Amino acid sequence: MEDEAEEAAVTRTSKTDRSQPAYVERADRKPFTTVLNDLADAFDAKPVAAAPPSGHTASSGWFPPPNPLLVIEVRPPAFRIRRSTSATRKPYTQRMIRRLLPAVLISAAAFVVAVASHPAGVAAAAKRPAVAATPSPTPSPAPSASPEPLDKAIPRLEARLKADPTDKEAASSLAGDYLQISRPDLALQLTQKLLAAGSKSAQTYYFDGLAQSGMSHQKEALADFEQAANLEPTNPGVLGTLTSMYLQEKRPQDAERIAKRAVTFNKNDKNAYLAYGQVLAAEGKFDEARQQLENAVKIDPKDVRPILIEAQTYQQQNAMALAAGLYERALTIDPNSVEALVGKGRLAAADHNVKDAIATYERLYVLQTDPNDKAAVIDQEAIVYANEKMDTEATAAYQRGIAQFPNVLSAHTSYGDYLLSKNDKAGAEREFISGAGPNRDQLDALARLGQLYAGENQLPKAIDQFKRVSQLAPNDPRSHLLLAASYAANKQFGQAVTEFKASYQLQHTPDALMGLGQADLQTRNYNECAQVYDALDKGAPDLSRQNPTILFGLGQCYQGAKQPDKAKAAYVKLLGYVKPGSQAANEVKSLIAAIDRQQKPAPKKPTTPAKN
């Protein structure tokens, strides 16, 4: 009934004469490194370099790979977005951003453990494929016959906007172009001005949502996409993006509702079925998901993307033979499908079939034209050998990539990952330094080098690397978080406070607040320290139960601020979270007892009667 009511409401609010945008398939094929970047976290068979360090268990901070099906591939809405004629690969990958720092601790030892908990290869997502092939992104609206290159369009629009700051069309176009060159900060300035000026169209909200998301303002981004969907309730691109956001925010029911709406009002849009199938797969409704994916295949039998996603669903159920059959089916349709070849190669590697895996990668190698992509294929061959402990072949493959493509710096970084997994720290350092480049501008190598130095307790060197990372990625909250943690580990708490605050301003994460609270405590900024820990305790009570240091820190800060009653209340609450009779419980009781003794009034001296 709710679905019928929503459909009726959408029908009433939609303009009956609005025609859905006509989309045209892109002729260009997705580069191999982009495919690897998309697939990086979907792999069940982790690369050798990604294994957690000895003694570091999942419970102590190891981040499991997210569900690969949570990434919805949807077609963007029918807004005019100019496409660049040449694309550049982002050096700071999403996988790196997600995993760069799982926790922030003050002590040097704890910091080293936190840094060491990251897989050695997390920063180079473009170099790490996943076992399941994710389909290429949904094609964008077809550009005009002669699209203007962004390096010409952006200066022209900037000049136009400078001449007339009220030119809304120029501002909107420029915001879209800024988004394409990965400058959400500049796009956000324009979209916010447009909204403030009353330009509250679906396109403006959509661009603002993309910019907010690029700045890690997920709450604001979701609100924008909801507004865009309210204004254009049947636009498949808007609905697809909103569906993806709901999944990211762990709201699968809302994601399914929106995806179903997209299918209802776009029955001939294969991408609507594809997105709906991915949502159902993310919810574990695999049979229903496959039905929707097959519906997409019926609309366009030559599009292999639904088949690739269907293969993923079987991999999620460990039905590898069925998944392999679907990859072969995709290759029958498109023999040069990079995604299908990656999936096939990964399945062969996971099955320890080195011969077929290498043969598949060699097919991929021939298809590539860009040196970065060719080097990435060689790296995958090296990983196959490394996982089978064929170290001679693995070393030869890594060195082959470096020798054949000396200008591809990431080849050095990948080799450094491998050497680090073999405990050759000197060799890893050498390769990471080479991978950082002569200008020290390769973020993945710099971050890995910082992790290496932190693990060796060479904290000044680690700080130097993370400081450079924060300079290159000033709008990434994780870069500031890493630098803050390294400062704190080196007992430079004043600098740590600044970086923790910078990270929190960019993204409101508990990690940044916890680090700030501990740094404030060390700098004796007790009032701010208490405010931070109190916000954590009240805003994330489950986190307080899982991490007793929050309540302990809160008590310490209140004691420093001369508020013993509040300190005692924090300790009493903490006592309920620790195991009765344990050493921790006894220590908390001692803290409470000490406060009671301090608050106990001193006994009055007996008065002696005055002598007459």
SS3 labels along 414-440: HHHHHHHHCCCHHHHHHHHHHHHCCCC
Tens of pLDDT along 431-456? Answer: 999 999 999 999 999 999 999 999 99
- In CATH, which of 3.30.420, 1.25.40, 1.10.3090, 1.10.10 is domain 524-598? 1.25.40
The contacts of residue 49 (CB under 8 Å, 6+ apart) are 119, 120, 121, 386, 417, 418, 420, 421
DSSP 319: -
Q: DSSP H helical segments within 121-167, as ranges?
A: 150-163
Tens of pLDDT along 402-435? Answer: 999 999 999 999 999 999 999 999 999 999 999 9
* Token output for 5: 């009511």
Helix (H, G, I), strand (E, B) or coil at 366: helix
Q: What is the mean pLDDT of residues 498-524?
A: 93
Q: At what angle do helices 320-333 and 305-316 cross, to 10 degrees?
A: 170
Q: Which amino acid is at 172?
A: S
- pLDDT band of 258, cuts 50, 70, 90: very high
Say whether pLDDT at 528 is over 60. yes
Q: What is the mean pLDDT of residues 552-565?
A: 94
Q: Which amino acid is at 284?
A: G
- pLDDT band of 540, cuts 50, 70, 90: confident
Say whether pLDDT at 234 is over 70. yes
Lowest-confidence pick of 128-142, 214-228, 453-467, 471-485: 128-142
Q: What is the mean pLDDT of residues 326-339?
A: 96
Say whether pLDDT at 83 is over 80. no
User: How many Å apart are CA 589 and CA 559, to the nearest integer?
Assistant: 15
User: How many Å apart are CA 208 and CA 455, to the nearest integer?
Assistant: 40
Q: What is the mean pLDDT of residues 202-231?
A: 94
Q: Which amino acid is at 75?
A: R
Lowest-confidence pick of 101-115, 286-300, 410-424, 543-557: 101-115
User: How many Å apart are CA 41 and CA 66, to the nearest integer?
Assistant: 6
Contact 444, 123 (CB under 8 A): yes
Q: What is the mean pLDDT of residues 95-123?
A: 29
Check residues 227 and 13 and name the one with the higher pLDDT.
Answer: 227
**With the C-alpha atoms ordered 552, 553, 558, 561, is the resulting torsion angle positive or negative?**
positive
Residues listed for the chain: 612
User: What are the extents of the domains in the chain?
Assistant: 524-598
Say whether pLDDT at 85 is over 60. no
Cα 377 to the center of its chain, rounded Å = 23
**What's residue 603's pLDDT?**
67
* Token output for 406: 């000396």
Mean pLDDT of the chain: 79
* Token output for 253: 């029911």
CB under 8 A, 24+ apart: contacts of 567-575 = 567/595, 568/592, 568/595, 568/596, 570/537, 571/595, 574/548
Say whether pLDDT at 101 is over 70. no
Count CB-CB contacts under 10 A for residue 145.
5
- pLDDT band of 251, cuts 50, 70, 90: very high
Q: Which amino acid is at 484?
A: A
User: How many Å apart are CA 323 and CA 351, to the nearest integer?
Assistant: 13
Tell me how many degrees the CA angle 120-135-144 measures, rounded to the nearest 5: 115
Lowest-confidence pick of 159-163, 442-446, 602-606: 602-606
- pLDDT band of 610, cuts 50, 70, 90: low
